[in-house]
Structures are given as C-alpha cells and as structure tokens.
Amino acid sequence: MKRDQQLFRKRAAMSVVFVLAFMGMFGLVSVTNVFGQTAEATTTMTEAEAGVAEFGLIAAALAFGLGAIGAGIAIAHVGAAAMGAIGEKPEIASQALIFIALAEGLVVFGFITALMILGKF
C-alpha cells in the first residue's frame, strides 16, 4: 500500500512538472512575436472600424461555438442511439457511423462560417 502511494505521488509530481513545462514553453513561444514588432508594424484603427471588428469577432465566436455545442448535443443523442442499435444488431455499425458523421458536419459548417467572417478583416 505504501509503495502504491509513493508511485502515485511520483507520477502526479511528474505530471505537474510536465504540464508546467509545457505551459512555460507555450507561453514563451506565443509572446516572441510581441517583442519582435517595430513601430511601423502596428496599425491604427478608427473607432468605427474597431466597433465593426468587435462585432465580427463576436459573430465568428458564436458561429463556431454554437456549432460545436449543437454538434456535441447531436452526437451525444445519435451516438447513444447508435451504440444501442449496434448492441442489438452489429451489422448496422457502418450505417450508424454515417449518422454520427452527419452530426459532426455541424462543427465543420460552423468553422467554415467563422473563417469566412474572419476573412473579412
């Protein structure tokens, strides 16, 4: 029992170290462009352009977020029904996967819509 606890603590500590190292590396990589900018690289926006950009970013976030939430709900219901049907009749597994893929298409449509909105800026 004592050995199991020590092994668990060692693995938990290694996991924490790994996550912190990953977050540190990600943070370092994501801020390197901030220090590399020059004064000429920055652009100024008018107040009207900033307002339009704000609503455009909100629209893109809503398009992708609501599409992902809708797909998650659809996949939950279709997947549960498909697994029940496959349990009773295994030969319909390929047909059940098609229905799950149709529900997954909602995320793709939301992502494409968000990209189209972001492409306007």
Residues 50 and 26 in one domain: no
Confidence of residue 48 (pLDDT cuts 50, 70, 90): confident
Residues 111 and 69 in one domain: yes
Q: Please name which of 109, 114, 112 lies closest in space to residue 71, comparing C-alpha atoms.
A: 109
Residues 90 and 114 in one domain: yes
pLDDT at 72 over 90: yes
**How much is the pLDDT for 3?**
87
**How much is the pLDDT for 84?**
93
Per-residue pLDDT tens over the stretch 7-17 = 999 999 999 99
- Number of structural domains (the chain) is 2
Say how many C-beta atoms besides its own lie within 10 A of residue 106's C-beta.
19
Per-residue pLDDT tens over the stretch 90-118 = 999 999 889 889 988 889 999 999 999 88
Domain with residue 57: its CATH number is: 1.20.20.10
**Domain limits at 7?**
1-37
The residues, ordered by sequence, that sit 6+ positions from 93 with a Cβ below 8 Å of its Cβ are 86
